[in-house]
């Protein structure tokens, strides 16, 4: 296992279009997190899953955002009707919660540019 993988690395889209990002966590990790990071800021929490259950969503996650983790493995984050303010780095992280080993690990992120 080579860590947390995110795809694509970069995405340029026109305003109003829908985009979908994918995250493949470390295989034995049961928790998966999505963050958004803008330039010069730390990551901001969006949502997280424990196995396939989405346990918490931030107020930052508007109705245009939806995340899924259907089989408790990979996850997708979809943004509908993108706006210029959605331009950011979208980071995924995974961890082993409840097993005594943290191993909180980030992926390399997906850089979204809305033009």
Contact positions vs other proteins (CB under 8 A) = 4, 6, 33, 40-45, 48, 55-56, 89, 91, 93, 102, 104-109, 111
Q: Closest by alpha carbon to 105, among 92, 88, 87, 93? A: 93
Nearer of residues 23 and 79 to other proteins, judged by Cβ: 23
Cβ proximity to other proteins, 19 vs 107, nearer residue: 107
Nearer to other proteins, 21 or 33 (CB): 33
For 48, the 3-state DSSP assignment is: strand
> Closest distance between other proteins and the C-beta of residue 36, in Å?
11
Does a cis peptide bond (omega within 30 degrees of 0) precede residue 8? yes
CA dist., res. 115 & res. 82, Å (int): 9
């Amino acid at each position: 296992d080579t860590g947390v993988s995110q795809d694509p690395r970069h995405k340029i889209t026109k305003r109003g279009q829908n985009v979908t990002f994918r995250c493949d966590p470390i295989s034995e990790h049961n928790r998966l997190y999505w963050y958004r990071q803008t330039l010069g800021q730390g990551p901001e929490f969006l949502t997280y899953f424990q196995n396939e259950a989405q346990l918490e969503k931030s107020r930052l996650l508007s109705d245009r955002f939806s995340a899924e983790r259907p089989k408790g493995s990979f996850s997708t984050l979809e943004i509908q009707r993108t706006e210029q303010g959605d331009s950011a780095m979208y980071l995924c992280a995974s961890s082993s919660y409840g097993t005594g080993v943290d191993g909180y690990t980030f992926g390399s992120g997906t850089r979204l540019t809305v033009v």
